[in-house]
Amino acid sequence: MILRKNSLALLIAGALVPFALQAQTVPDGETKKHEDKLVQLAPVAVSSTRLDDGYASSNAASATKTDTPLIETPQAISVVSAAQMLDQGVLTVQDALRYSAGVRSDSYGVDSRGDDAMLRGTSFVQYLDGLRQSFGGTYARTEPYFIDHLEIVRGPSSVLYGQGTTGGLIALASKRPQFTASHEVVAQLGNNARKQLAFDFTGPLDTAGHWAYRLIGVYRDSDSQIDYVPDDRKAISPSITWMPDDSTRWTLLANLQFDRNGSTLNFVPHAGTIYPNPNGRIRTNRFTSEPDFDRYDTNQRSISSFFEHRFNDTWKIVQNTRFSHDDVDYRSIYPNVYGNPAYPFLDANERTVGRNVWATRSNYRRLTSDTHAEADFDAGPTHHRVIVGLDLGYSRTNTKQIDSSQSGLLIDVPFDLFTPTYGRFSLDPTLNALPASRTRQTGAYVQDQVNWGEHLIGTVGFRHDRATQTTADQRLVNNATTARYGLMYRFDNGIVPYVSYSESFQPLDQPDRNNWPFAPQRGKQYEAGVKYQPVGSATLVTATYFDLREANRLAPDPEQPQFQIQSGRYRVRGVELEASTRVASHVDLIGTYTWTKARPSDGTTVAGLPENQASAWAVYHVNDADSDGLSFGAGARYIGVNYDETHTIRVPKKVLFDAMVAYTQGPWRFSVNAANLTNQIYTATCLQRGDCFYGPRRSVMGMARYRF
């Protein structure tokens, strides 16, 4: 009931703000003066067409919550544009991260449960349209066709967001209504029996140009790399925008998404993956659960409100709110490799294993809201862009689950990893209700972006958070103050060196194995770098050195590895190089290199984190990038050696190749994309607890798009 009251109050308040502001009257004598000061809102670019300057982007909003040029932001940021996602044929948000510095995508191989990756050696928090998507636990994956672009913000961003890891955040931007009519229908066919239909319609609703709509839908029927695991989706996203004048814009956006999947994470033992097994290699499509039991089904429903109003050439207000309701039904059976990692098999021939049962049903209700005012003004020799804001977050989780490692529900029928037999027993476990978990967070923040003359740029920000976590009769309250400082100098030739310091604060909604809430993670980072973007050029080059520290990090529980504990401190140092450009209107190019050195205070190693990574992607347009005709491209991803937590299990380096070919003629576009072109079999990560995870095999996808 508390959630419903809070949700209703905030949603009503958010709905009334536009009308209250629009209803303000101006005295007749002041009308002309106010009209002269009206400033048109910056357009929201949501088209899927190729950008004029290729993959390079000039501005990003997520790092500062203002529309600030990347070259003037004292932080390493990557923008994955609609053009890049289209060329690379991304099928998930995780796919879109593969060609960005500082990111270890597919770190746990083929995992249908989420878009997980490492960012600067740690996890990240995902935001959609400036609002946090989840607060821990299981969640529904975001449909990439609904996304216009995404931004990778490296390093702590708690001053503006409150909730985020030291590594950074991934900020997704939804497609929104446009006042220029555009319609497209897309069909996809691919391996693993992939069949997908999608549409995207947008345009004005009235001749005066005050109302616009957008309607996006996806229907997918597909298998996956793992036997018996589907990848089916039905999703629709309607939205409407009201723009009564050039100073006001209000968008309501709904999202309904229903996924019917299973668990592709198979937890296979070391012997037969990274180490030899007398029976050979365990197949990469091996399903270790039961077809009639396994599932990872998610139902996601959300409604969002995005409002902004500019009062004059100085003041602007932005108010964003989202309410979401997710249901997740997750059931899986997996090999019991945790008891004795050195010998997890039941037989001397190393073929059969015992299995554990995991089943959980979770219901999430989340309300997030962010309101901030922006002032743009001069003060003496300086120009200031100040934002003052307040954001609120509420999450309530109800869960029923059964865990065989705690309850003794172990399957005593040996499971053969090489010639499996399914359906030898029926299983319908009783799920036990856990105490409801609730998280509340309130944060107030202020930030000032200062320009001294034409060259010197400074950023300073402060924030105070209050986070409350409640589980049953346990209540944990945390208060935190975070800060951010940055200084840049912009030379006339486009070279911009910078230094920055930032802090992070992340409350954790999930409990430990005793159902106690975790303490918030705290972190800080020092960063120095150089950015280069010649005026009017499509080239953007960034070189960064960072040194981050994190406390209260999560690690597998040594007694029950399927749970987590909070261990000691964590230090990561690294160098990131990233460049994107367009050459002679014919070639779009991205290149990255990452060196990362992580040192937890307990002497362990960060599992799955390579010290060296590099990537390169290029597309050649036979005519030119903005004309019809043939395009073809290729990419290579180098992933260096990584280890388990004890630095004893060595996972070899690998080089993966991707390719594409596309032909555009008028309203038609035909393309074929292949990821892991050579179909390389490789292990992504191995853990000391006893299991390894295969990386994605070759994916081939053909697409036909028609625009009208």
229-265 pLDDT per residue, tens: 999 999 999 999 999 999 999 999 999 999 999 989 8
487-525 pLDDT per residue, tens: 999 999 999 999 999 999 887 766 677 767 677 788 999
In the predicted structure, residue 72 carries a pLDDT above the cut 80: yes
Distance CA 673, CA 557 (A): 40
The reply to whether the predicted model has a pTM over 0.85 is yes
Rg from Cα positions in the chain:
25
267-324 pLDDT per residue, tens: 999 999 999 999 999 999 999 999 989 999 999 999 999 999 999 999 999 999 999 9
In the predicted structure, residue 363 carries a pLDDT above the cut 50: yes
Determine contact, residues 686/695, Cβ cutoff 8 Å: no
- Residue scoring higher pLDDT (384 or 13): 384
88-98 pLDDT per residue, tens: 999 999 999 99
Looking at residue 1, its pLDDT comes to: 42
Per DSSP bridges, beta strands 654-665 and 495-506 are unpaired
Distance CA 673, CA 676 (A): 10
28-68 pLDDT per residue, tens: 444 443 344 344 444 433 333 333 456 877 788 888 999 88
Sequence-distant (6+) residues with CB within 8 A of 450 are 382, 383, 384, 457, 458, 459, 460
Domain with residue 13: its CATH number is 2.40.170.20
Per DSSP bridges, beta strands 570-583 and 629-639 are unpaired
Average pLDDT over residues 354-370: 92
Tokens of 215: 């309607």
Q: Mean pLDDT over all residues of the chain?
A: 87
Determine contact, residues 684/109, Cβ cutoff 8 Å: yes
Distance CA 156, CA 162 (A): 10
Looking at residue 55, its pLDDT comes to: 81
Residue 278 belongs to domain spanning: 2-42+50-707
- Residue scoring higher pLDDT (656 or 44): 656
Looking at residue 39, its pLDDT comes to: 43
DSSP label at 29? G
Please report how many Cα atoms fall inside a 13 Å half-sphere around the Cα of residue 305, on the Cβ side.
20
Looking at residue 301, its pLDDT comes to: 96
Owner of token pair 């309300």: 367
Looking at residue 558, its pLDDT comes to: 67
Distance CA 99, CA 578 (A): 9
Tokens of 88: 């690379």
Looking at residue 430, its pLDDT comes to: 77
Average pLDDT over residues 650-657: 97
pLDDT-derived band of residue 561, with 50, 70 and 90 as boundaries?
low
- The percent of residues above 70 in pLDDT, for the chain, comes to 89
Looking at residue 474, its pLDDT comes to: 79
- The percent of residues above 90 in pLDDT, for the chain, comes to 65
Looking at residue 5, its pLDDT comes to: 43
3-state secondary structure 270-287: CECCCECCCCCCCCCCCC
567-586 pLDDT per residue, tens: 778 899 999 999 999 988 89
Tokens of 139: 């969640």
Average pLDDT over residues 165-180: 94
Name the domain count of the chain. Answer: 1
pLDDT-derived band of residue 604, with 50, 70 and 90 as boundaries?
confident
Looking at residue 491, its pLDDT comes to: 95
Tokens of 252: 């309501």
pLDDT-derived band of residue 405, with 50, 70 and 90 as boundaries?
low
What residue ranges in 533-569 does DSSP mark as E strands? 540-551, 554-556, 564-566
Looking at residue 507, its pLDDT comes to: 74
Highest mean pLDDT among 103-117, 333-347, 629-643: 629-643
Looking at residue 387, its pLDDT comes to: 97
Looking at residue 404, its pLDDT comes to: 59
